[in-house]
Amino acid sequence: MEKRTIGTGLEVSALGLGCMRMSFGDAPIGTRQDMIDVIHKAVDLGVTFFDTAEVYGPWTNEDLVGEALEPFKGKVVIATKFGFDLYEDGRTGWKGMNSRPERIRKVAEESLKRLRVEAIDLFYQHRVDPDVPIEDVAGTVKDLIQEGKVKHFGLSEAGIETIRRAHAVQPVTALQSEFSMWWREPEDDLLPLCEELGIGFVPFSPLGKGFLTGAVTPDTKFDPSDIRSRIPRFQGEALKANLELVEVLKGLAEKMGATPAQLALAWLLAQKPWIVPIPGSRAIARLEENVAAAAIEFTPEQVQEIQTLLDKIDVIGARYPEDMARTTRR
């Protein structure tokens, strides 16, 4: 697979693998060995960029990724995250934000053990903590980099001024935020800022939490453990209206001999050479489908056709429930 260089010289595969749902998020989940097999298959297909976080599980996802990728030390890049206070009894969820320096250091030490590595390749602040100056956060990660425990600093769902302030203390290698054909807000300000500062952009939910694959219909019922059961744009009349986008995507994909998911991922890759989507997958067939998107190339005319069609579609409904929306774009 093609490689891309993001931020301060971090080389990764053009598509990464989001590992969250392998142990966290919604049912059903395969066995641990099933998920290890998926990760190994991703490596076989040329994926070198894997995304996890201590809050996924909590802790179990890092442990899974660490075991699966231990045989490939030095050949892959693992990104993980800090930023939450977790329940010590292992309950799903978190007590609140916590990016105090001592907490960042504690997370780093524990993540190193679970990931079975000597240094964390990319260490993101998972969500901005309003109670801790971002300069303190960036400074702490800078110290960890100087100590050899972390290689690169990242931010997730951060706002423009937060990114600028952090970058002034420790160069930010990557910004992770939602971006897809049905969440295009980053085009307005985040992408221009990343280009200005030389920061890579890592879209999560590049397939709109499965929506852009065409698998969601007006009759789809989500398990209560599935976050989509609480997201406004997946509900009722909003969902029915949003399916117009999927129909457009299906038509374009058919013309190009691709699947809707492949077209959606290829569109992201075509936006900028420093964009690296991280679609999640728990099935090898879906993984193979996604990876094939990296080989799709658009003509300038095709890019313009897609852009024109997308500009005509209004997406209805918020991308997060209200309680989660408060933690984004600070």
Kindly indicate the confidence band of residue 324, based on its pLDDT and cuts at 50, 70 and 90.
Answer: confident
Give the pLDDT mean for 219-225: 88
Output the CA torsion sign for 216, 220, 224, 230: positive
Kindly indicate the confidence band of residue 219, based on its pLDDT and cuts at 50, 70 and 90.
Answer: very high
Coil/strand/helix, residue 277:
coil
- Catalytic center residues: 56
Kindly indicate the confidence band of residue 267, based on its pLDDT and cuts at 50, 70 and 90.
Answer: very high
The whole-model pTM stands at: 0.96
Q: How far is the C-alpha of 115 from the C-alpha of 120, rounded, in Å?
A: 8
Q: Which of 131, 121, 49 is nearest to 81 (CA)?
A: 121
Rounded to 10 degrees, the C-alpha dihedral 302/303/309/310 comes to: 150
Which range among 131-135, 152-156, 306-310 shows the weakest confidence by mean pLDDT? Answer: 306-310
CATH superfamily for 3-325 is NADP-dependent oxidoreductase domain (3.20.20.100)
- Please state, for a pLDDT cut of 90, what percent of the chain lies above it: 88
Q: How far is the C-alpha of 186 from the C-alpha of 180, rounded, in Å?
A: 9
Q: Which tens digits make up the pLDDT trace of 65-93? A: 999 999 999 999 999 999 999 998 888 88
| Amino acid occupying residue 197 | L
Given this model, what pLDDT does residue 205 score? 97
Q: Are 97 and 131 in contact (CB under 8 A)?
A: yes
Coil/strand/helix, residue 253:
helix
